[in-house]
């Protein structure tokens, strides 16, 4: 791997001049045969890939209104062109959302519209040839499906939908992407993205329990596969093994402990992440999510709570009910599924938790809204709950909280640079450059308000920032979960139980 | 002959536009994908679409210059279209006296808005990069329509009766080409450009005018937990509806 230098951080986010092909060299590793076959994809590129690819596009158009409408109605107004973090960080013309989507739109025009069949040059219609396919491989893997472009488009054109469709078409012709297909294979084989077998998981949980006992003097539990518990906790698997994720896991455990609510983790469904979304496959999304429903039934729980993970929350909140619903075997008094932030917030409202804000006095905190939570799902009963609820938890846990530039938070938030299936080493250059807008906004508040902690609720964001912030000379400890702050502040043993 | 042409033009538009809209309406929306800020009720979605169509709300957030040019152009276009009703409606409703003046202002605003959009397309490197020839041609066509309209409004009043006569003569007899005044030529050019616009409308990006109502990121209610959204083509689903949550 080459030695990457991070771009110079300016005082503000500036829109760069367009460059053609500045990121053309960066492709993901191709998928391996052993990861493609189990997912039902051809093991290698088909001989008749061109025909099959065009046919697949035709099929997708009939299945997705988003694709049909969004490929048709773009007026090339350019409002989205400066909205993508990858364009801002790389200057590559094809990383402007409309231009990325045009890689598919031009093929759509060529084969599916009268204008493109008759006058390809006039309307920018292009053949689905080798060169085009190579551009698809490159640029549809330089999109994190963060949907920032969609917020500002007059028609809500969502390049994430186009990227997902493109990846599904590529999979169908045997041109897969190693990172996502490998991880999905592991989920089907072992039950989680990291491929952690049950004994290893058991060991870790036991270790963390003794750790918490030592540090707090309380027997805070991390139960595994306990049938009859009230709640099934589905966390991203990184929460069991990576820093800073583990800190949040301990936060969840303390909340359950303090509320006196019995919960369990499942070794079969020890993974909230659902990379089926990254490759655009409805069937994979459905299959991966099904394990969780089945485990909830098998363990006879009443509620499902999802841990801190951005895209997992999108899949759970927006898609679960469609994929594998209705969940009428669960307790109807609680939302299905429930986010861990909603869960903790509810307890806080009911006075079940006591927080000592001083525990976090060493921190000046800001919040990074993770795109999939911010732009593709919700929390609570009202629009915008996905912003207010995590902030309410932060405010309850510390004295010093400040916001970053409003152009970079809430629905305008910038992706961390590693979402949507790009969190892989070979795309490191993209990840570093794509983090530039967020890092710029963070550096502003570090300078102005002495911020030294950026709280967030996404496992991928945590992994990405821990790796990339140091390249911008920001310590990796600056990033952590909202429940890490909760974990520090929560008072154990006072007034235990739900009131 | 002119009448037949007119019917043909309108016919192509109506059939083409309807087909496109039916295609959008019939394409399934498998999943809930509204973009934040997403309303949680149907009334909220109606309001959201209203603000998008009437104020270009998202575009305003995204790009102030495009909004200004686009808003001037579309607003003026609407007024101009209303004003054109006087050629087709008998008798004219009384409020048309006011629309007349507004219509003249609108003509100027329309050309100004289009000019701004064209300048943006030429001057901003990002927008220039994403434009294909057709994107310029649409602006030029609309500018052509606007200019010819203004020229007739202010300088050269065409004589409709004369034009009609001339056209009839052209098709029906072998006499040499009748003389058209400059005003007549401008009018015919105006008419032809409008015909081209109407015919190409359903086959082009102008379908944004109907498509905007079918964009799932904008027209869906954000209530996936409360109300089960069913994917019509999914296999192996439990198909029962449910409303708990
Ligand atoms: C429901 C009705 C309509 C809505 C909500 C709408 C909305 C919009 C918006 C938001 C834009 C992007 C911003 C801009 O560049 O102006 C746009 C562009 C455009 N619209 Fe419309 N429009 C409608 C009807 C029409 C009609 C009837 C026409 C043509 C006669 C038209 C022609 C255009 C053109 C040519 C552009 C591209 C402008 C450019 O090149 O920058 N629109 N429209
Ligand atoms: S903002 Fe929307 S309509 Fe405008 S260029 Fe981008 S995708 Fe096309
Ligand atoms: S979805 Fe995000 S990453 Fe993809 S084009 Fe849009 S802004 Fe860029
Ligand atoms: S990893 Fe986080 S910031 Fe990046 S796309 Fe996912 S949710 Fe967004």
Distance CA A415, CA A408 (A): 9
DSSP string, B108-138: HHHHHHHHHHHHHHHHSHHHHHH--HHHHHH
Q: What is the pLDDT of residues B161-182, one digit of tens each?
A: 776 666 666 555 555 556 677 8
Whether residue A379 is contained in a domain is answered as: yes
From A125, A146, A176, the end of a domain falls on: A176
Give this complex's ipTM: 0.93
Is the Cβ pair A383, B20 closer than 8 Å?
Answer: no
pLDDT of B118 higher than 60: yes
Q: Into how many domains does chain B fold? A: 1
Domain that holds residue A84: 33-176
List of residues 6+ apart from A229 with CB closer than 8 A: A223, A262, A263, A264, A299, A301
- Candidates B189, B120, B94; CA nearest to A78 is B120
Q: Which two tokens stand for residue A333?
A: 């008094």
Given this model, what pLDDT does residue A104 score?
98
Q: Is the CB of A75 under 6 A from ligand 1?
A: yes
Most distant pair of Cα atoms in chain A: their distance? 76
Q: Which residues of B touch A151 (CB under 8 A)?
A: 35-36, 58, 61-62
Distance CA A417, CA A143 (A): 9
Q: Which two tokens stand for residue A105?
A: 């739109």
Given this model, what pLDDT does residue B103 score?
76
Whether residue A89 is contained in a domain is answered as: yes
pLDDT of B237 higher than 90: no
Distance CA B245, CA B242 (A): 9
Is the Cβ pair B40, A382 closer than 8 Å?
Answer: yes
Same domain? For A153 and A252 the reply is no
Given this model, what pLDDT does residue B152 score?
87
Whether residue B51 is contained in a domain is answered as: yes
Half-sphere exposure of A387 (CA within 13 A, CB side): 17
Given this model, what pLDDT does residue B181 score?
79
Atom of ligand 4 at shortest range from CA of A415: 3
Same domain? For A260 and A334 the reply is yes
Same domain? For A169 and A191 the reply is no
* Nearest ligand (C-alpha, residue A413): 4
Whether residue B77 is contained in a domain is answered as: yes
Distance B59 CA to ligand 1 centre (A): 11
Q: Measured in Å, how far apart are chain A's first and last C-alpha atoms? A: 55
Whether residue B7 is contained in a domain is answered as: yes
Ligand 1, atom 27, residue with closest C-alpha: B209
Whether residue A499 is contained in a domain is answered as: no
- As separate numbers, helices (DSSP H) first and strands (DSSP E) second, chain B gives 11, 0
The 3-class SS string of B63-94 reads: CHHHHHHHHHHHHHHHHHHHHHHHHCCCCCCC
Whether residue A456 is contained in a domain is answered as: yes
Same domain? For A243 and A302 the reply is yes
Same domain? For A59 and A207 the reply is no
Q: CB of A186 within 8 Å of any CB in chain B?
A: no
Given ligand 4 and candidates A272, A372, A390, which is best to mutate, with the most ligand atoms within 8 Å of its CB? A372
Look up tokens 């799932």; give the residue. Answer: B216
Ligand 3, atom 2, residue with closest C-alpha: A146
Is the Cβ pair B62, A147 closer than 8 Å?
Answer: no
Same domain? For A117 and A209 the reply is no
Residue A240: which H helix or E strand, with range?
A: helix A238-241
- Candidates A63, A75, A59; CA nearest to A157 is A75
| Residue of chain A nearest B240, judged by CA positions | A326
Beta carbons of A425 and A377 less than 8 angstroms apart = no
Q: Is the CB of A444 under 6 A from ligand 4?
A: no
Given this model, what pLDDT does residue B30 score?
97
CA dihedral defined by A146, A149, A151, A152, rounded to 10 degrees? Answer: 160
Whether residue B141 is contained in a domain is answered as: yes
Domain that holds residue B145: 2-21+40-221
The CA distances from residue A351 to A263, A346, A391, B49, in Å, are 20, 9, 17, 40
Distance CA B228, CA B125 (A): 45
Whether residue A37 is contained in a domain is answered as: yes
DSSP label at residue A242: S
Is the Cβ pair B37, A74 closer than 8 Å?
Answer: no
Same domain? For A223 and A260 the reply is yes
* pTM, to two decimals: 0.93
Same domain? For A135 and A171 the reply is yes
Percent of chain B with pLDDT over 70: 84
Q: Which two tokens stand for residue A241?
A: 């093994």
Look up tokens 């049950």; give the residue. Answer: A198
Given this model, what pLDDT does residue A356 score?
96
From A158, A176, A194, the end of a domain falls on: A176
Q: Which two tokens stand for residue A488?
A: 């520090």
Same domain? For A169 and A201 the reply is no
pLDDT of B245 higher than 70: no
Residue B186: which H helix or E strand, with range?
A: helix B182-200
Is the Cβ pair A98, B130 closer than 8 Å?
Answer: yes
Whether residue A62 is contained in a domain is answered as: yes
Over residues B198-227, mean pLDDT: 97
Q: Is the CB of A80 under 6 A from ligand 2?
A: yes
- Candidates A378, A379, A387; CA nearest to A410 is A387
Ligand 3, atom 8, residue with closest C-alpha: A84
Is the Cβ pair A74, B234 closer than 8 Å?
Answer: no
Whether residue B28 is contained in a domain is answered as: no
Given this model, what pLDDT does residue A499 score?
47
The 3-class SS string of A18-62 reads: CECCCCCCCCCCECCHHHHHHHCCCCCCCCCHHHHHHHHHHHHHH
Mean pLDDT, 10 residues at a time, over chain A (499 residues)? 76 96 96 94 96 98 98 97 97 98 98 95 95 98 98 98 98 96 90 81 96 95 96 96 96 96 94 95 95 95 97 98 95 96 97 95 98 97 97 98 98 97 96 97 98 97 97 97 98 69
Given this model, what pLDDT does residue A495 score?
63
Q: Is the CB of A73 under 6 A from ligand 2?
A: no
Whether residue B106 is contained in a domain is answered as: yes
Where residue B68 sits, what CATH number does that domain have? Answer: 1.20.950.20
Q: Is the CB of B212 under 6 A from ligand 1?
A: yes
Where residue A130 sits, what CATH number does that domain have? Answer: 1.10.1060
CA distance B91 to chain A (A): 37
Interface A-B, measured as beta-carbon pairs within 8 A, has a size of 233
Q: Which residues of B touch A156 (CB under 8 A)?
A: 35, 58, 215-218
Distance CA A459, CA A247 (A): 12
Same domain? For A385 and A322 the reply is yes
| Residue of chain B nearest A159, judged by CA positions | B217
Given ligand 2 and candidates A81, A124, A157, which is best to mutate, with the most ligand atoms within 8 Å of its CB? A157
Given this model, what pLDDT does residue A1 score?
45
Distance CA A493, CA A249 (A): 19
DSSP string, A335-386: -SSEEHHHHHHHHHHTT---B-GGGGTT--EEEPPPHHHHHH---SSSTTHH
Ligand 4, atom 5, residue with closest C-alpha: A419
> Helix, strand, coil: what percent of chain B each, to 5?
70, 0, 30
Whether residue A8 is contained in a domain is answered as: no
Q: Into how many domains does chain A fold? A: 2
Given ligand 2 and candidates A71, A150, A154, which is best to mutate, with the most ligand atoms within 8 Å of its CB? A154
Question: Which of A62, A71, A155 should be substituted to probe chain B, the one whose Cβ sees the most B Cβ atoms within 10 Å?
Answer: A155
* Nearest ligand (C-alpha, residue A96): 3
Whether residue B192 is contained in a domain is answered as: yes
Q: What is the pLDDT of residues B35-73, one digit of tens each?
A: 999 999 999 999 999 999 999 999 999 999 999 999 999
From A159, A176, A193, the end of a domain falls on: A176
Distance CA A345, CA A349 (A): 6
Same domain? For A293 and A329 the reply is yes
Whether residue A433 is contained in a domain is answered as: no
Whether residue B31 is contained in a domain is answered as: no
Q: Exposure of A458 by Cβ count < 10 A (0-12 exposed, 13-18 middle, 19+ buried)?
A: buried
Same domain? For A220 and A343 the reply is yes
Distance A147 CA to ligand 3 centre (A): 5
**What band does B242 get if pLDDT is binned at 50, 70 and 90?**
very low
């Amino acid at each position: 791997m080459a030695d990457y230098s991070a771009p110079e951080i300016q005082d503000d986010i500036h829109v760069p001049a367009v460059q053609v092909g500045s990121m053309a060299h960066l492709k993901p590793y191709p998928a391996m045969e052993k990861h493609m076959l189990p997912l039902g994809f051809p093991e290698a590129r088909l001989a008749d890939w061109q025909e099959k690819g065009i046919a697949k596009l035709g099929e997708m158009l009939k299945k997705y209104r988003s694709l049909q409408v969004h490929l048709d109605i773009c007026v090339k107004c350019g409002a989205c062109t400066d909205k993508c973090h990858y364009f801002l960080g790389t200057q590559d013309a094809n990383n402007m959302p409309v231009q990325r989507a045009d890689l598919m739109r031009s093929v759509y025009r060529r084969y599916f519209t009268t204008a493109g069949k008759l006058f390809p040059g006039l309307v920018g219609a292009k053949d689905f040839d080798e060169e085009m396919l190579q551009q698809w491989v490159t640029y549809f893997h330089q999109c994190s499906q963060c949907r920032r472009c969609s917020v500002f488009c007059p028609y809500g054109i969502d390049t994430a939908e186009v990227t997902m469709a493109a990846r599904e078409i590529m999979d169908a012709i045997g041109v897969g992407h190693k990172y996502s297909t490998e991880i999905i294979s592991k989920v089907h084989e072992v039950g989680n993205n990291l491929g952690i077998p049950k004994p290893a998981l058991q060991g870790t949980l036991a270790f963390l329990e003794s750790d918490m006992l030592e540090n707090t003097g309380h027997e805070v539990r991390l139960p595994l596969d306990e049938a009859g518990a009230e709640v099934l906790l589905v966390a991203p698997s990184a929460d069991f093994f990576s820093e800073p994720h583990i800190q949040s896991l301990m936060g969840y455990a303390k909340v359950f402990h303090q509320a006196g609510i019995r919960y369990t983790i499942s070794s079969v469904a020890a993974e909230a992440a659902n990379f089926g979304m990254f490759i655009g496959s409805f069937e994979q999304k459905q299959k991966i999510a099904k394990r969780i429903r089945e485990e909830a039934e098998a363990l006879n729980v009443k509620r499902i709570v999802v841990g801190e993970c951005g895209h997992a929350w999108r899949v759970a909140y927006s898609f679960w009910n469609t994929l594998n619903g209705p969940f009428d075997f669960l307790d109807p008094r609680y939302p299905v599924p429930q986010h861990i932030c909603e869960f903790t917030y509810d307890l806080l409202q009911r006075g079940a938790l006591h927080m000592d804000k001083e525990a976090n006095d060493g921190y000046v905190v800001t919040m990074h809204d993770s795109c999939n939570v911010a732009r593709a799902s919700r929390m609570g009963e009202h629009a915008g709950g996905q912003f207010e609820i995590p902030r309410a938890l932060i405010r309850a846990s510390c004295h010093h909280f400040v916001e970053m530039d409003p152009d970079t938070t809430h629905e305008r938030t910038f992706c961390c640079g590693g979402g949507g299936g790009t969190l892989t080493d070979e795309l490191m250059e993209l990840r570093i450059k794509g983090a530039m807008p967020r890092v710029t906004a963070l550096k502003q508040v570090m300078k102005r308000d002495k911020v030294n902690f950026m709280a967030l609720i996404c496992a991928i964001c945590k992994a990405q920032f821990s790796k990339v912030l140091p390249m911008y000379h920001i310590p990796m400890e600056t990033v952590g979960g909202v429940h890490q702050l909760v974990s520090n502040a929560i008072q154990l043993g006072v007034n235990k139980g739900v009131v | 002959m002119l009448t037949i042409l007119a019917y043909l033009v309108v016919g192509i538009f109506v059939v083409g536009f309807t087909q496109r809209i039916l295609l959008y309406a019939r394409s399934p929306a498998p999943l809930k994908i509204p973009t934040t800020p997403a309303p949680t009720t149907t009334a909220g979605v109606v309001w959201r679409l209203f603000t998008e169509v009437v104020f270009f709300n998202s575009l305003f957030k995204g790009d102030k210059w495009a909004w200004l040019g686009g808003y001037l152009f579309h607003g003026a276009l609407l007024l101009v279209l209303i004003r054109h009703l006087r050629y087709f409606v008998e008798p004219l409703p009384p409020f048309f006296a006011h629309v007349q003046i507004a219509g003249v202002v609108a003509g100027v605003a329309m050309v100004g808005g289009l000019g701004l959009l064209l300048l943006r397309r030429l001057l901003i490197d990002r927008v220039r990069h994403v434009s294909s020839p057709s994107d310029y041609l649409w602006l030029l066509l609309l500018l052509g329509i606007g200019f010819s309209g203004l020229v007739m409004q202010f300088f050269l009043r065409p004589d409709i009766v004369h034009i009609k006569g001339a056209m009839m003569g052209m098709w029906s007899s072998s006499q040499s080409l009748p003389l058209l005044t400059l005003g007549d030529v401008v009018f015919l050019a105006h008419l032809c450009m409008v015909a081209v616009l109407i015919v190409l409308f359903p086959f082009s990006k102008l379908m944004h005018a109907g498509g905007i109502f079918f964009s799932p990121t904008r027209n869906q209610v954000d209530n996936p937990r409360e109300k089960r959204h069913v994917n019509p083509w999914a296999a192996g689903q439990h198909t029962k509806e449910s409303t708990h949550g």
